[in-house]
Amino acid sequence: MKSTLAVLALALASSIHAQPVTTQKLIIVGNGEAVGSVVATTSGDHVTVDYAVSNNGRGPRHHEALVLNDRALPVAWSVKGTSLMGGAVDEDFHWADGHAQWKSQAEQGESTAAAPALYVLNDTSPWAYGVYARALLKAPKQSLGTWPSGNMKLEKLQSTDLTANGHTLHADVYAITGIDTKPLYVFLDSKQRLVGTVDGQGTAVLDGYEGAAKQVADVVASLEDQRLRSLGAKLAHNYDRPVRIKNVHVFDPATGKVGPLQTVITFDHHITYVGNDPDKLPPTEDQVVFDGQGGVLVPGLHDMHSHATSDSGLNYIAAGVTSARDMGNVNSFLQTLRARIDAGELIGPRIVPNGFLEGRSPYSAHTGFITDSVEDAVRDVDWYADRGYFQIKIYNSMNPDWVPAIAAEAHRRGMRVTGHVPAFDTPDRVIHDGYDEIAHINQLALGWVLKPGEDTRTPLRLTALARLASLDLNAPNVRATIDLMVARHIVLDPTMSIVERLLVSRAGETPEPEAAVIDHMPISYSRYRKRTFVPAPTPELTAQYNGAVQKSLDILKLLHDKGIRLMPGTDDTNGFSVHRELELYVKAGIPPAEVLRMATLGPEEYFGRADRLGTIERGKLADFFLVAQDPTANISAIRAPRLVMKDGTVFFPSEIYGAIGVKPFAEPPPQEQLVAKPSVH
């Protein structure tokens, strides 16, 4: 492989001298501001690409080199650099003489084929989406097999004119499907150049057309709306008759007990019956009846640290997550998304919004509001309060001296305050300044191990967790903070699952957090999870990271034993991470029934909605899910819901997963076919 790359480099160098050279630049825009760029230099069939993003103190940064054949298929492709959190990227693909070889963070492999397939990058850039689209345009039926596995398809959806700076650029909009749980949308101009796309890093748009970034994002959002509305109409089952679920046990989070076999009936969004004597209520022909087959009904789960996307609702509902707290988003997007979910246009959980406030710095997160003064920050608090936001979330670059004024205004307006511990601040100080809650276990624990002047606006806020391995939980500074949390009734939203994922990630391995789901997922998801997120995991550092995970679990157990409220959240966009979050609490030593209470009734008590949600009782809204096994005996039973009900609407996870390219985890319960009884005269 190394000799091949050397030949590739020499060939590229000679080609650049022999061929006309063209350069194309794309700007990455996040929340209205430039956060990165893609610069591609083409000479004949050789292309080099430089990709860099800096948003929230992190972002991928790598260099690509590729060679294309006459069918626009890459026959050589290398990527070198660093990924989102600073982990090393070293990916290579090569095809020649009927033999393909590849090596990425996820795996290495080879294949024999008379003609090359389309290689799917593990560490990708927006430029790759254009490569995929051009290759598919030349393919029969615009479909290609992909390496390492799978199949990719292209479909033209519409045309549009992008306008900026008095110039107009005509573009065709395509959807690429087959490699992820949702399509990739690409904009190609008349020369088949990539001129726009949207991914997790932001909106990429042709240099000079940054003013059209919102237009690109709006087109993609509209296309996603159409797709998701279509799925919603197909996957949401609404009945004008009572829905009866028989032969089920009911988990009661208030007592921590699973009851005897019962029948549960719902109608018009609400639970209308929960009874221990189902034979006295025989089903009638005007009911929809499901046989729970001895399974357990559990109140809907909550993700108390989400960042909603238009398609994340599908993943949440399929996993039994019927409510979520959004901890920071593009404000206009979140307001629209909530309205569409509440109206039944899109599938998704109930979303409780938090208002995101960030300070201005080179490391700012480009979401919510970025404030330049304490006066602006207070006005932003009022903007959120006027719109009914539950909390204010303060972020890394906020000036610590502004926190008291922000917290005071939030409290005056009836809101709570949560967030990261701003850079150069401490957990103890933010609590004294008005925090009611702290987001992320690392934001709490770093206060015990950071050195003066260290900057947590960078990935240090994660990598410095290695120091936890040797932390003494009886140290005076640790006990002082915990005592302060107890005295002030401070809540912690640990997001332990994302911390674990980052610290135990190792290239080419399936980490424990992903073992239960990875074989069910499309290629892009599964490969992305088999990688190293943290930089330079030497044997010594690996041992420290592993020790930090265990020490974080010890901290969770200590906090729980002290009576500090834990709010299970993930900092992710799918229910799989909620499941893992709860598994980790059990691994820390907290009994499963107590963990389930944290994820069901506890959040509703926190929101002040426990009179409507959080338990399965007559008169409450119908939010719950059915699993085959008892999760109080094995918490992992929650990973396989058979039926989910949210607000009285029935969903079958197997249908949702099938629609987004995920192998289902469980089959739906059988539905009885009732025959009308003869009339009695």
For the question of whether the overall pTM of this predicted structure is more than 0.95, the answer is: no
CATH value at residue 448: 3.20.20.140
Q: What percent of the chain has pLDDT over 70?
A: 95
Residues 196 and 326 in one domain: no
Q: What is the pLDDT of residue 2?
A: 47
What is the DSSP secondary structure assignment for residue 104, as one 8-state letter?
-
Residues 129 and 143 in one domain: yes
Residues 176-219: tens digit of each pLDDT: 999 899 999 999 999 999 999 999 889 999 999 999 999 999 99
Query: C-alpha distances in angstroms, 213 versus 32, 132, 623?
Result: 8, 21, 38
Mean pLDDT of 314-332: 96
Residues 248 and 205 in one domain: no
Residues 502 and 621 in one domain: no
Burial of 410: CB neighbours in 10 Å, binned 0-12, 13-18, 19+? buried
Residues composing the chain: 681
Is there a contact between 574 and 639 (Cβ–Cβ < 8 Å)?
no
Alpha helices in 369-475 (DSSP H): 374-386, 403-412, 427-433, 441-445, 460-463
CATH value at residue 296: 2.30.40.10
Q: How far is Cα 647 from Cα 664, in angstroms, rounded to an integer?
A: 23
Residues 282-302: tens digit of each pLDDT: 666 789 999 999 999 999 999
Q: How far is Cα 36 from Cα 52, in angstroms, rounded to an integer?
A: 5
Residue 230 lies in a domain: no
* Residue at a domain's end among 592, 613, 634: 613
Q: What is the pLDDT of residue 460?
A: 84
If pLDDT is split at 50, 70 and 90, which confidence band does 529 have? Answer: confident
Residue 585 lies in a domain: yes
Residue 231 lies in a domain: no
Does the pLDDT of residue 501 top 50, yes or no? Answer: yes
Does the pLDDT of residue 680 top 50, yes or no? Answer: no
Residue 433 lies in a domain: yes
Buried b (16+ CB within 10 A) or exposed e, 564-584: bbbbbbbbbbbbbbbbbbbbb
Q: How far is Cα 602 from Cα 598, in angstroms, rounded to an integer?
A: 5
Residues 600 and 629 in one domain: no
Tell me the Ramachandran region of residue 614: left when phi exceeds 0, alpha when psi lies from -120 to 50, beta otherwise: left
The values of phi and psi at residue 239, to 5°, are: -120, 145
Q: What is the pLDDT of residue 229?
A: 94
Lowest mean pLDDT, pick from 34-43, 172-181, 458-467, 501-510: 501-510
Residues 642-667: tens digit of each pLDDT: 999 999 999 999 999 999 999 999 99
Tell me the two tokens of residue 551. Answer: 């020490």
Listing DSSP states for 466-520 in one string gives: GGGGG--TTSHHHHHHHHHHHHHT-EEE--HHHHHHHHH--TTS--GGGTTTGGG
Is there a contact between 135 and 180 (Cβ–Cβ < 8 Å)?
no
Residues 239-289: tens digit of each pLDDT: 999 999 999 999 999 999 999 999 999 999 999 999 976 555 666 678 999
Mean pLDDT of 532-556: 88
If pLDDT is split at 50, 70 and 90, which confidence band does 676 have? Answer: low
Residue 572 lies in a domain: yes
Q: What is the pLDDT of residue 211?
A: 93
Does the pLDDT of residue 679 top 80, yes or no? Answer: no
In whole numbers, what is the pLDDT of the chain averaged over residues?
A: 92
Q: Please, which residues have CB within 8 angstroms of residue 29's CB and are 6 or more apart in sequence?
A: 35, 202, 203, 204, 205, 210, 213
If pLDDT is split at 50, 70 and 90, which confidence band does 5 have? Answer: very low
Residues 324 and 285 in one domain: no
Looking at per-residue pLDDT, the higher value among 411 and 674 belongs to: 411
Residues 324-333: tens digit of each pLDDT: 999 999 899 9
Residues 33-49: tens digit of each pLDDT: 899 999 999 999 999 99
Query: C-alpha distances in angstroms, 293 versus 251, 276, 365, 628, 658?
Result: 15, 15, 48, 8, 23
If pLDDT is split at 50, 70 and 90, which confidence band does 3 have? Answer: very low
Residues 241 and 137 in one domain: no
* Residue at a domain's end among 193, 224, 255: 224
Residues 565-579: tens digit of each pLDDT: 999 999 999 999 999
Number of independent structural domains in the chain: 3
Q: What is the pLDDT of residue 16?
A: 47
Residues 32 and 129 in one domain: yes
Q: What is the pLDDT of residue 283?
A: 64
Residues 296 and 335 in one domain: no
Is there a contact between 62 and 51 (Cβ–Cβ < 8 Å)?
yes
Mean pLDDT of 518-531: 84
Residues 486 and 545 in one domain: yes
Q: What percent of the chain has pLDDT over 90?
A: 79
Q: What is the pLDDT of residue 539?
A: 86
Q: Please, which residues have CB within 8 angstroms of residue 677's CB and are 6 or more apart in sequence?
A: 284, 285
Q: Is the dihedral of CA 39, 43, 44, 47 positive or negative?
A: negative
Q: What is the pLDDT of residue 214?
A: 94
Residues 430-443: tens digit of each pLDDT: 999 999 999 999 99
Residue 681 lies in a domain: no
Q: Is 57 helix (H, G, I), strand (E, B) or coil?
A: coil
Residues 592-634: tens digit of each pLDDT: 999 999 999 999 999 999 999 999 999 999 999 999 999 999 9
What is the DSSP secondary structure assignment for residue 662, as one 8-state letter?
-
Residues 543 and 652 in one domain: no
* Residue at a domain's end among 589, 613, 637: 613
Q: What is the pLDDT of residue 87?
A: 77
Mean pLDDT of 457-475: 90
If pLDDT is split at 50, 70 and 90, which confidence band does 530 have? Answer: confident
Residue 329 lies in a domain: yes
Range of the domain at 522: 301-613
Listing DSSP states for 265-325 in one string gives: EEETTEEEEEES-GGGS---TTSEEEEEEEEEEEEPEEEEEE---TTHHHHHHHTTEEEEE
Residues 26 and 129 in one domain: yes
Q: How far is Cα 44 from Cα 460, in angstroms, rounded to an integer?
A: 42
Q: How far is Cα 386 from Cα 595, in angstroms, rounded to an integer?
A: 34
Residue 489 lies in a domain: yes
If pLDDT is split at 50, 70 and 90, which confidence band does 511 have? Answer: confident
